[in-house]
Structure formats: structure tokens, C-alpha cells
A and B are shown apart, each in its own frame.
Chain A
Amino acid sequence: MSDANGGDDTDELTTLRRAIEEIDRQIITLIGERLALAQRTGDIKREAGRPILDAAREAEVIRRAVNAARELGVPQEATREIFWRIVGMSRGVQEGGDAP
């Protein structure tokens, strides 16, 4: 509705969208870093003859993420879903395949 409001809305929308794009990039960069670390822990597990899947450890990661979400006022159930996905991706690279 820029025509009706003199263009200010559109400028602000553009600025906000740029900031969101930058955050998205940071999120993806961090996911990449997390997967690289997961790959290394996978190598260590394999050398030690330990199974890749550690359900107790995954549950702990989720609990910690939800705790942080609660402290920061971020929706907890959605955070849970996102972190299960990230944990699944990490397990995927540890198992040597592509992340699901």
C-alpha cells in the first residue's frame, strides 16, 4: 500500500526484510558449523566403537534448547520441532549419509 502512505511503509518493510535475510544467513551458517562439529564427534564415536545414535544425549539437547527458548520467550514447542530436525540432520551426517 505504498501509494496511499507515501512510500515510508515500503522503505521500512525493505529494511526489515534485509535484516531478516541477514539473520537467515547467520542461522544457516551456524547450522553448517554445527553439522561440521557433529561430523567430528561422529568420527570419534566410530573410532571408539560407540553407536552413532545416543537417544539420551539427543533428549538432553532438546531439553536444553527448550529451556533456553523458555528463558528467551521464544515459542517452546516450535523450538522443539526445529531442534529435533537439527538433531536429525546432525545424526544424518554422522552416519555418513546426506542430512535428511
Chain B
Amino acid sequence: MIIITRPDISDAELDHIRERVESVGLHTHLSRGEQRTIIGCIGDEARLAEVPLKSLAGVESVMPVLKPYKRASREFSVNRTVVRVGEHATIGGESITVIAGPCSVEGRDMLRDTAVAVREAGATVLRGGAFKPRSSPYSFQGLGREALGLLAEARVSEGLPVVTEVLDTRDVDLVAAHADMLQVGARNMQNFALLAELGRVQRPVLLKRGLSATITELLMAAEYIMAHGNANVVLCERGIRTFERATRNTLDVSAIPVLKRETHLPVIVDPSHAGGDADLVAPLAFAGIAAGADGLIVEVHPNPECALSDGDQSLTLPAFAAMMSRIGAFATAAGRSMATPARTPRSRAFAGTAA
């Protein structure tokens, strides 16, 4: 249920409406816009029958929210959510944000070389895997803690906020201490214990769509994080499993406008995992931007042939720069602009002293 208030509502009237709703055991969520303010009601709506909502001072109208997701639903928020990552990067809003970096952090030099190159090409957030969820237990599982330390170093020396995946509820605090944004991988999208834990930390979450998850299931996963106290969720379409075998997955381009219709949360696209092939990354990235995505997350490696994971889909540094040089035109065509770095990196001489 959402309550749309009159434009001239006073603070006292707002407080009173919320108290009446909460006095029957529901929770309220406020969304303030320039023109109007919405109070979202969460809980057993049957109990609201005893509250004369429409006759309370300041109430303009009352509308049911029929979707199973409430906090994530478009109706619950007057404005679209803009998620801040680190001090300066944002996802959502007018500009398009590109996150780039290696599938896994393999060492200091490769991470720094990649970070410098992607920043110069226009990326404003660095990605890098520390804990890797691999389909085979015998594949490279990531450098773990060591990689987190290298990411934290690169974050300071290259001036890019970092996003990395968290696999285990036990690692949430550790990863949050090193990264600006925490990623939930496709295989963990419905790991509800992990989602609940991420609700409790004050870090933005990048939530990837499960390989076989519907759009509603993705939004319910976001709802889980939000219901546990963290409203800073970015959704990521990364390809779904279909009958087509020519590509690793099928990028569900239509999910982008559907999500933009259903939710106020930002939506980005992962063209690397969607196609599973470096040649497909640029066209899928362009398609994502054209369809209204708020950003991209792209795998880049200085030497994909030698990558310890996902080399086939990683772009070389020049290929990433080439893609970035063409992407602005797609952003412009979609009525958007490309995000620009807000500051120059700190001198490497000072790296490590800022903590």
C-alpha cells in the first residue's frame, strides 16, 4: 500500500500518518520528491483496514501495490535511486557508469596496469575478483584475502572505487572493509542468508541476476537486501540460460526496460558473462546502453590468453579503450552522457598513508 500525500503536508501530519500505520504493526518508508511525498506501507495490509487512512489530514490518495516486491517497486519511490560508490562515482541518474577490471585479481602489477588503463579509457569503478565462485572445485578459486589487500591498494593509488564479489556470509565484514561495493554473483542471487547479511552492512550491493532467475525473482532478491536495511542496490543483467548454444548465455535485453519500468533501482549490464566471448562484448554493451541501462561491468585483462579465469571473454586493454571510444555515441542516442572521473588519482608516493 502506498499513501500519496498532499503537497502542503506538514511534518506533524506526516508523523501522525506514519504513527497510525505503525501502530497496527506495519512499517513505513518515506520517499520525498519535489512535487509530492509518498509513504510506503510494509507488512500485513489487512491490518490497515482499521485505520481510516483516507480521512487522515494530509492524505491525498491511497493505492495498493500489487507486486510482491514493495521497497524495490517503482511506485514506492518518487525518484529513481542513484547509488553512490566510493566518494565520487555514482550509478543511476543521467550519466552512464562503466565498471571494468580483471575477472580475478592475479597480482599487484596486472591489477595496477589494468586499473590505470581502464581509468584512462573512462571507467570510473574498478572490478576485480578475490573470491571466485567456479563451476569446478579444481579451477582457480581466487587469491582471497591477498587480492582484497591488492584491491584496497589500487583503490588508493589509482583513485578508483572498487567492487568485488562476496561469496560467504562469514566474509561480508572482511570484504566490506576493503571494497566500496559488494557484488552478489549470479549463483548466489537467491542465497537469502547472504542477502540478509548484505542488508546489514552499509555498502552498496551489485546484485547479479541468476542464470535461470526471472525478473520478479531478481527483484525479490533486491527486496531481501532492502528489507534488511540496505537500500543501495544496483541490479545487473548478465545473460540467462536459454536453448541457444552459440553464446554462453543470452543477454536478456528486454529485461532492461522491464526493470526500469518495475523498479527505481539502477540497472547495469554485464556484456562479458552474457556472451562469454570477447568479440561479443562491445555489441552487447552497446545494445545494453541503447536499451536504457545505467552502466556496464566489463572484464578486462592485460593478457587474456594467460588469464587464470574467463580469458575468453576478457577484453584486452586496447580493445576496451576501442569500445569506450565508441560508446559515447550510444549514450548520446539514448539521451545520456558518460560519467567522468571526478578526481585525478593520488600520487603513488602517498599510497598507503591515507588509511
Q: Which chain A positions have C-beta within 8 A of B22? A: 55, 58-59, 62
Q: Are A1 and B354 in contact (CB under 8 A)?
A: yes
- Name the interface size band of chain B: 10 to 19
Q: Is A22 an interface residue (CB 8 A)?
A: no
Q: Is A48 an interface residue (CB 8 A)?
A: no
A59, B21: Cα distance in complex, Å: 8
- Name the interface size band of chain A: 10 to 19
Q: Which chain B positions have C-beta within 8 A of A77? A: 30
Q: Is B24 an interface residue (CB 8 A)?
A: yes
A63 contacts which of B18, B30, B229 (Cβ < 8 Å)?
A: B18
Q: Is B136 an interface residue (CB 8 A)?
A: no
- Give the distance to chain B from A82, nearest Cβ to Cβ, in Å: 10
Q: Which chain B positions have C-beta within 8 A of A2? A: 353
Q: Which chain B positions have C-beta within 8 A of A12? A: none
A63, B16: Cα distance in complex, Å: 8
A77, B30: Cα distance in complex, Å: 8
Q: Are B25 and A55 in contact (CB under 8 A)?
A: yes
A1, B352: Cα distance in complex, Å: 10
Within 1-18 of A, Cβ neighbours of B (below 8 Å) are at 1-3
Q: Are A59 and B354 CB-contacts (below 8 A) given A77-B30, A81-B229, A84-B27?
A: no
Majority SS of interface residues in chain A?
Answer: helix
**Interface mask (A30-53 → B, CB under 8 Å = 1, otherwise 0):** 000000000000000000000001
Q: What are the 3 closest A-B residue pairs judged by CB atoms, nearest first?
A: A59-B22, A56-B23, A59-B23
23 inter-chain pairs at a CB distance below 8 angstroms, sorted by A residue, are: A1-B353, A1-B354, A2-B353, A3-B353, A53-B25, A55-B22, A56-B23, A58-B23, A59-B18, A59-B21, A59-B23, A60-B19, A60-B23, A62-B18, A62-B19, A62-B22, A63-B16, A63-B18, A63-B19, A66-B15, A67-B15, A81-B229, A84-B27
Residues in chain A within 8 A of chain B (CB atoms): 1-3, 53, 55-56, 58-60, 62-63, 66-67, 70, 77, 81, 84
Please name 19 further chain A to chain B contacts, defined as beta carbons within 8 Å, in addition to the given A1-B350, A55-B22, A62-B22, sorted by A numbering. Answer: A1-B354, A2-B353, A53-B25, A55-B23, A55-B24, A56-B23, A58-B22, A58-B23, A59-B18, A59-B19, A59-B20, A59-B21, A59-B22, A60-B23, A63-B15, A63-B16, A63-B18, A66-B15, A67-B15
